Structure 1
Amino acid sequence: MNNIINLYKPSGPTSFDMVRSVRRLLQVKKVGHIGTLDPMAEGVLPLCMGQSTRVIQFLTPLTKVYRATLTLGTSTDTQDAQGVVLESRDPSAVSETDLTRLLLQYVGPQKQVPPMYSAKKKNGIPLYKLARNGITIDRKPVDIKIYAIEFIEKIGQRVHFRVHCSAGTYVRTLCHDIGETLGCGAHMSHLIREKVGEFDLESSLTLEELELAKEQGNLSTKLLQTETALDFMPEIQVYPDRVQSIAHGRALSKAWVRQSPNRFGPGMNFRVTNEDNRLVAIVEPLVDQDRFLRMEPDDIAFKLKRVLI
């Protein structure tokens, strides 16, 4: 039980409700999710179990793909269909051409103000708790990136679109902002998360499918190994006689590195493997490739971020 489940969350339960359900079902103490889904949202919710929870911090920044529906004409305090309507305006003048052009304007890096009804914290208190008590505070805009956005269709006042975005992007805030730009207001009325990195809807499991796999004794075939989940990271291979030192928390010197990518630099994450491709650790370069080539064999080149053995 140290692997990862690509779980499907239905609309209704919270992300933590799903974590609790998996804990009870599989009798696992440590379970954590990769990226929160609002209760009304459905879709991909990868869960790390046991020792795989140690890599959550490296999977959380994975990009996301959502299929969303926004409803034109009404804005709400939560920016979704579960909130109180704040204002209603006439959206009849909005055309498909207007929407297609506007959506494209959101592609690229930008700033987004997190909604009050969110899990972000101020002085240790989640913003949604403040909002429920009628308290609104200033929130600093955060950097997000929209990699692609696709208009799908408009049916009445409901607009369906797909968005590929960075972690930390609030799609309901995107819906709200689109409505404000159009001048008629809007809120998010439906959301499906289709992908988290390489975790997709097609390979996701419902709780019922997970329970059936447990009963049939083929649960292991439904789970993803940590090594596989981290395949997106560049790899550094170390000499076998250095693995034990890494396990004891020692940083990597140049002489320990058997193979490394052609280009790298500080701020990047790398998975460290041994000659059997076993996952050993996650590290970050202290220097770039050019500096690395000029270092002495005993100079420290990579700092440890997480030991995984």
Structure 2
Amino acid sequence: MATDGILNVYKPVGPTSFAVVARLRRLLRLRRIGHAGTLDPLASGVLLLLLGRATRLSCYLQALPKTYRVGAYLGKATTTYDEEGEVVWEADPWGIDEGAVHKALAEMTGRFLQQPPSYSAVKVKGKPAYVYARSGQSVQPPPRWVEVYRFQLLEFRLPELFLEVECSQGTYVRSLVHELGLKLGCGAYVRWLMRTAVGPFTVEESIPLSLLEEEIGRAQWSHRLLPLDAGLSYMLAISLGPEEVAAVVNGRPICRPGDGERARAYGPDGALVAILRWDPQQGLWRPETVFAP
């Protein structure tokens, strides 16, 4: 059976993303498995697992916009920006109204530099920042450009807010909630977090990890495997002739009209052959990632 494709898995609270990958490697006896974007142990929701040649898609799928739902608790700020950290300051949130929340959320949309939490997996001098934080060392990960497309209040129930955020790759929702608490003047931390979508992959269409493990045990899981191009519809599609396929597979560019930064290229049989990158200076499509065996 072909083992090239994408699994849209619902990760429960508890395991790390790496632990989920390790479990699937053992169950499927397949070495080439990765994921397209880490979920913290305290977070649940969509985790895209990439099998076989789909591991080459990681950078493209990680670039897709993410949607989260989050429970933000007002009145306290913590070291980790979630409920596992130590409380560093407290303030009364009961004077805050919905209007103030809507105003703060509106100010937090757009593109800006975000400071990742000290308790994060961002590398500092070759080590995750949380390694330094847990040993008592003060380290600030470098800020990064992120974009928040939408930040909405779903439910106002003091001292908790139910929020939904759609954001770019690399955005830390914990940092957004912490910043919201600063803007409201009362502190805030994440009580729970669920990733509800990665691009077109939704939580409603995901398979719970426990059910996937059961289906693997019964050898009845293959219908869950999505094709390689399942998340690439935002790219231009190009159909190649036999000679063009041969050129691309051997790393040579092809001459086609250019429109966009990247394109997905298909062979005469309809199979995905490669991701091509447009070279505007030469007017050529150059193979960037090749999937043909």
TM-score, normalised relative to structure 2: 0.94
Q: Which moved more, 1:119-128 or 1:234-243?
A: 234-243
Measure, in 2, the Cα distance between the counterparts of 1:131 and 1:211: 35
* Corresponding residue for residue 127 of structure 2: 125
- Determine what percentage of the aligned residue pairs are the same residue: 37
Contact (CA 8 Å) 2:67, 2:164: kept in 1 or not? yes
2:115 maps to which of 109, 113, 116: 113
Contact (CA 8 Å) 1:238, 1:272: kept in 2 or not? yes
1:109 match: secondary structure: strand
- Runs of 5+ unmatched residues, structure 2: none
State the superposition RMSD in angstroms: 1.6
1:155 maps to which of 157, 182, 185: 157
Output the amino acid matched with 2:212: L
1:223-302 alignment runs, 5 A limit: 223-250=225-252, 252-254=253-255, 257=256, 263-264=259-260, 268-287=261-280, 292=283, 301-302=284-285
* Corresponding residue for residue 137 of structure 2: 135
1:195-210 alignment runs, 5 A limit: 195-210=197-212
* Corresponding residue for residue 44 of structure 1: 46
Contact (CA 8 Å) 2:122, 2:141: kept in 1 or not? no
| Mapped pair 1:4 → 2:10 | no
Q: Which moved more, 1:231-240 or 1:180-189?
A: 231-240
Contact (CA 8 Å) 1:213, 1:222: kept in 2 or not? no
* Corresponding residue for residue 95 of structure 1: 97
Task: State the Cα distance separating 1:275 from its structure 2 match.
Answer: 2.7
Measure, in 2, the Cα distance between the counterparts of 1:162 and 1:10: 19
Contact (CA 8 Å) 2:248, 2:254: kept in 1 or not? no
Measure, in 2, the Cα distance between the counterparts of 1:281 and 1:253: 12
* Corresponding residue for residue 296 of structure 1: none
* Corresponding residue for residue 288 of structure 2: 305
CA deviation digits over 1:123-173, x for unaligned, max 9?
211111111111222333211111112111122201101011111100000
1:185-204 alignment runs, 5 A limit: 185-204=187-206
- Runs of 5+ unmatched residues, structure 1: 293-300
* Corresponding residue for residue 224 of structure 2: 222
Query: How many equivalent residue pairs?
Result: 290
Task: State the Cα distance separating 1:76 from its structure 2 match.
Answer: 0.7
Task: State the Cα distance separating 1:216 from its structure 2 match.
Answer: 4.4
Contact (CA 8 Å) 2:238, 2:266: kept in 1 or not? yes
Output the amino acid matched with 2:285: F
1:281 match: secondary structure: strand
Measure, in 2, the Cα distance between the counterparts of 1:198 and 1:120: 26
Measure, in 2, the Cα distance between the counterparts of 1:97 and 1:137: 35
Contact (CA 8 Å) 2:129, 2:141: kept in 1 or not? no
Output the amino acid matched with 1:238: L
1:55 match: secondary structure: helix
Measure, in 1, the Cα distance between the counterparts of 2:154 and 2:251: 50
